[in-house]
């Protein structure tokens, strides 16, 4: 895919949704961090239901740490893998209090040192909370990048690096949200909704298959 096509793809995505947002509910970088940790192998809707119960009671590192693993588990037990997630969140809160003055760090290295925080989670926080040009590649973004031809790659890291290189600079900060929403609602896994896609004429998927 050439640069002109990529530019037009992101121009249209921007035109349709000038101010894209994560579908996770949060009001502070800390709330976002915890929500993203909880969202692994879970839906944003499910996480939002749990944090809607949790955050009015505890939404700081000190307050959540005070709940303990068992106390926190009561709020998040509707989410998959809640036991291990509760342990990670409690330990992350302890480290934030002891090492970071209860503030969410703004570097990838410091974020990835927290339990339950991998590269993808760190990138979400850096991009969404702190508006850094980071690219969190989830299953939706991996699929869209490969299927459309925007940034094909065999690994998540390869796709991430290509997106950072190929996405036009003016659109880089919001590209994560546009791609994830496109993958969630239009370019779906089992059957992409090509007929209602804004970038169908620019996409390289239709040239590779005769199923449509």
The residues annotated with a catalytic role in the active site are 120, 138
**The total number of residues written for the chain in this structure:** 212
Token couple for 66: 């005070």
Start-to-end CA distance of the chain, whole Å, equals: 21
**Cα–Cα distance measured from residue 151 to residue 162, given in angstroms and rounded to the nearest whole number:** 6
Cβ atoms of 23 and 124 within 8 Å: the answer is: no
Greatest CA separation found in the chain? 57
**Cα–Cα distance measured from residue 14 to residue 7, given in angstroms and rounded to the nearest whole number:** 10
**Cα–Cα distance measured from residue 171 to residue 148, given in angstroms and rounded to the nearest whole number:** 17
């Amino acid at each position: 895919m050439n640069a002109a096509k990529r530019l037009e793809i992101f121009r249209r995505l921007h035109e349709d949704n000038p101010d894209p947002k994560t579908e996770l509910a949060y009001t502070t970088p800390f709330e976002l961090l915890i929500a993203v940790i909880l969202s692994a192998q879970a839906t944003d809707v499910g996480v939002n239901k749990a944090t809607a119960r949790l955050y009015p009671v505890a939404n700081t590192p000190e307050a959540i740490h005070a709940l303990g693993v068992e106390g926190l588990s009561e709020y998040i037990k509707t989410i998959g893998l809640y036991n291990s997630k509760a342990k990670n969140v409690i330990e992350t809160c302890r480290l934030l209090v002891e090492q970071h003055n209860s503030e969410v760090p703004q570097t990838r290295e410091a974020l990835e040192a927290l339990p339950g925080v991998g590269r993808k989670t760190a990138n979400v926080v850096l991009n969404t909370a702190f508006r850094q040009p980071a690219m969190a590649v989830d299953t939706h973004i991996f699929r869209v990048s490969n299927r459309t031809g925007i940034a094909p790659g065999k690994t998540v890291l390869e796709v991430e690096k290509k997106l950072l290189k190929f996405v036009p600079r003016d659109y880089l900060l919001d590209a994560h949200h546009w791609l994830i929403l496109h993958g969630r609602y239009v370019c779906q896994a089992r059957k992409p909704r090509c007929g209602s896609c804004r970038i169908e004429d620019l996409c390289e998927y239709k040239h590779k298959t005769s199923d449509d």
